[in-house]
Amino acid sequence: MIRLFALVALFAALSNAATIPVRPQQPGSMPPSQRTTLDEALAQLLENIREILRTGDPERGIPVMAPLQTDQLNVDLSLGGLLDFSAILRNLFVDGLDRFQGTLTLNVMLMEFRYDLLFPDVVAHGQYDADGRLFGLIPVFGFGNFHVAPRDLRIQGTAQLRQLPSGYLHMNELRANVRLGSLQNNIDGMLLGGELSDLLNEVIQDLVPSVLVNFASEVTDIISRVGIPIADSILNTMTMDDLFALIPLKESNQG
């Protein structure tokens, strides 16, 4: 999921490079023809992101993410004393990242874009081996198969880019507000299985949507801490010219 932010940032920078006039203007003061070109470009960027999720981009180290399949993924999570958690996920399969709906808007002067993405039906399954503590006291551990299905996962936020003195790009800031409509989960083997495992499944299903609201700043910090280095691993190798070359935008008709 975090790599999706990197893709959004990369393509937003491209739209910036492709539509900034010689003397940048605030988006609201753009002539209608330029505003239309920008809006069309941003809409096309989302479709390009959807396609790259399906095909990947080996040259830039972007794997296929629709569906996402990986042999092993290490996860470390800390949410302000509520949960400290580490896990190894094996044979991970995630489907539905390309079925998003979304919008992008761009502030040309600030090189900042605002995104609003809705993932209606993501499904993930695999095997896990996890250990952690809830509220710093209650042990949470287990291993086995898992199946989770977040519904109406909505991610809204902003990302700001800067051009380094070297001419390459850098993500200066990444903010994200995450909300979840509901969660369906079946995680085997928690707390040695049995009734305790069934109870913890119910707790997780009810707790996760509210945690995303009540610990919004901690979630944003995690996304920023993880997402910016991933985005920069792509952006730090690219200039504005490189970005401009990625997607041929149609020039507006003259006369």
- Within 10 angstroms of residue 137's Cβ, the number of other Cβ atoms is 6
pLDDT value at 26 more than 60: no
pLDDT value at 20 more than 80: no
pLDDT score for 168: 93
pLDDT value at 125 more than 60: yes
Q: What is the mean pLDDT of residues 211-232?
A: 88
User: What contacts 74, CB < 8 A, 6 or more positions away?
Assistant: 86, 87, 88, 89
Q: What is the mean pLDDT of residues 228-233?
A: 87
Residue position matching structure tokens 């302000």: 80
pLDDT value at 65 more than 80: yes
pLDDT in tens, 70-83: 999 999 888 777 78
157 has which bridge partners?
115, 176
pLDDT score for 9: 52
Q: What is the mean pLDDT of the chain?
A: 81
- pTM beyond cutoff 0.85: no
* SS (HEC) of 114-170: EEEEEEEECEEEEEEEEEEEECCCEEEEEEEEEEEEEEEEEEEEEEEEEECCCCCEE
pLDDT in tens, 127-162: 999 999 887 788 889 999 999 999 999 999 999 988
User: What contacts 137, CB < 8 A, 6 or more positions away?
Assistant: none
Q: What is the mean pLDDT of residues 7-25?
A: 41
CATH architecture of the region 2-63+70-246 = Super Roll (3.15)
User: Structural domain boundaries of the chain?
Assistant: 2-63+70-246
pLDDT score for 135: 77
What Å distances lie between residue 51 and 57, 58, 121, 146, 228, CA to CA? 10, 14, 18, 28, 22
